[in-house]
Amino acid sequence: MVFTRRELKLPMIDKKRIMVWGYLKANNCKGFNLILLHNSQSIYGDWLLLFNRHRVIAVQRDNRPEPFPFEMNEIEKEINYLNAMHIYVTDRITLDYDKIKEFLIEYF
């Protein structure tokens, strides 16, 4: 018998391990990602909001309205390009309930 094993490697942002990720997306496909980072000083961790948009000089391979969330099947790859020159630009902000509330009021 042949067994294969895939090692789980949790991605990192700013040298902090990502514990959970997800997104909030409206019917018009606008949205953002939520990221929970490990913080040894807090049982609650550090929450980030990621607002993604297309880089102006990059050839767009999709026509998603901005800001858009990375989908679950692409975020694991895209998270590695947050600090790099890439086809997407991502604005990172710490958890801001007012931003979430503004989004919900505007799109829901």
Of the pLDDT bands very low, low, confident and very high (cuts 50, 70, 90), residue 59 is low
Task: Give CA–CA dist 10/51, Å, rounded.
Answer: 21
The candidate with the shortest Cα–Cα distance to 67, out of 31, 95, 101, 103, is 31
pLDDT of residue 58: 65
pLDDT at 52 over 70: yes
The first and second tokens of residue 38, run together, are 């490990």
Q: Which helix (H) or strand (E) holds 97?
A: helix 97-107
The candidate with the shortest Cα–Cα distance to 89, out of 67, 62, 72, 73, is 67
The CA angle 65-20-33, to the nearest 5 degrees, is: 15
pLDDT at 60 over 70: no
